[in-house]
Amino acid sequence: MPPSNRAPTEPPLRDYGGEAGDARVARRRAALIEATLDLLAEPEAGAVTVRGICSRAGLTPRYFYESFAGVDELVAATYDEVIGELAQAGLTAFAAGTDSRDKVARAVRALVDVVDSDRRKGSLMFADTMRSPVVAAKRNESTQLFVGLTTASAIQAIGAPPGPVTTAAAYFQVGGLGRLLATWVEGGIDLDREALISVCIGMLLPDGLTDAFAVDR
C-alpha cells in the first residue's frame, strides 16, 4: 500500500459504497499520478500546480494532500513509478533470456514496449523538455540506477570484469540508448518499432551491428 499523509493518530477510514477507505486513498493517489503524467508529457510549457493536477484528476485539493505534501513530492512519486516499471520490465526480460544476445534483445524489447505503449512515460523519462526541476534530479538518479543494473548484467552475462572500464561502457550504453529513445519518442528519427529495437540491440552488442546497419539497406 503506498504511503499517505494521514497522521497515525487519525481514526481509520470507513468503508464507503462497498470500497475500503485505504482502497479509496490508493485510487485517488493513482488518479493524481496519472494526471501528473499527463501534464508532464504535454508539449506546451507551463507550471505543474496543485490546482492543475487536481483539475485534471477530477479531485479537490483536500484529496491531493491526503497523499502528498506538495507538487514536488507527487512529481517524484510519478517518476519513481515509471522508472520502477521500466527497471522491473527490463530485469524480468533479461533474466528470461537464454544467452547474452537473447537477454539483451528481450530487455531492449521490454523497455521499448513500455515507452511505446504509453508515450507519456517515454516523454517523462527521455524528452528534452523538463516541466519540473524534480525531473532533472530524478533523471540523474535513474541514470545511476541503470548504469548499476547494466554493469551487473554485463558481469553476469558475459563475464565482464568489475572495474572502471565496465562502468564507463555502461554509462556509454545507458546514455546512448536513452538519447536514441528520446529522439524516437519525439519523432526525430524515422524508424518503426521493430527497426528501433534492432538498432538498439545492434548498438549494445558489437556482433549485432551488421543486423542494425541492415535497417538502412
Q: Which domains does the chain have, with CATH numbers?
A: 21-70 (1.10.10.60), 73-216 (1.10.357)
* Residue whose C-alpha is closest to residue 54's, from 28, 75, 92, 87: 28
Query: What pLDDT is attached to residue 212?
Result: 45
Mean pLDDT for the stretch of residues 63-74: 95
The pLDDT > 70 percentage for the chain reads 82
CB count in 10 Å sphere of residue 80 = 14
* Residue whose C-alpha is closest to residue 173's, from 202, 193, 195, 216: 202
Mean pLDDT for the stretch of residues 134-158: 89
Least confident of 1-15, 97-111, 158-172: 1-15
* Burial environment of residue 124 by CB neighbours within 10 A (0 to 12, 13 to 18, 19 or more): buried
Query: What pLDDT is attached to residue 57?
Result: 95
Query: What pLDDT is attached to residue 11?
Result: 45
> Per residue in 159-183, is it b (16+ CB within 10 Å) or e — as a string?
ebeeeeebbeebeebbeebbebbbb
Higher pLDDT, 62 or 41: 62
Query: What pLDDT is attached to residue 5?
Result: 59
Residue 16 phi, psi (nearest 5)? -145, 125
Question: Residue 208 pLDDT > 60, yes or no?
Answer: no
Question: Residue 46 pLDDT > 80, yes or no?
Answer: no
Question: Residue 165 pLDDT > 50, yes or no?
Answer: yes
Question: Residue 67 pLDDT > 80, yes or no?
Answer: yes
CA-based torsion, 43, 46, 49, 51: positive or negative: negative
C-alpha cell at 176: 546512448
State the alpha helices, DSSP H only, in the chain: 21-41, 50-57, 61-65, 71-96, 100-117, 119-126, 133-158, 164-185, 193-204, 209-213
Instruction: Place 12 in a pLDDT band, splitting at 50, 70 and 90.
Output: low
Whose cell is 547474452? That residue is: 100
CA dist 9 → 5, 6, 13, 26 (Å) = 12, 8, 12, 19
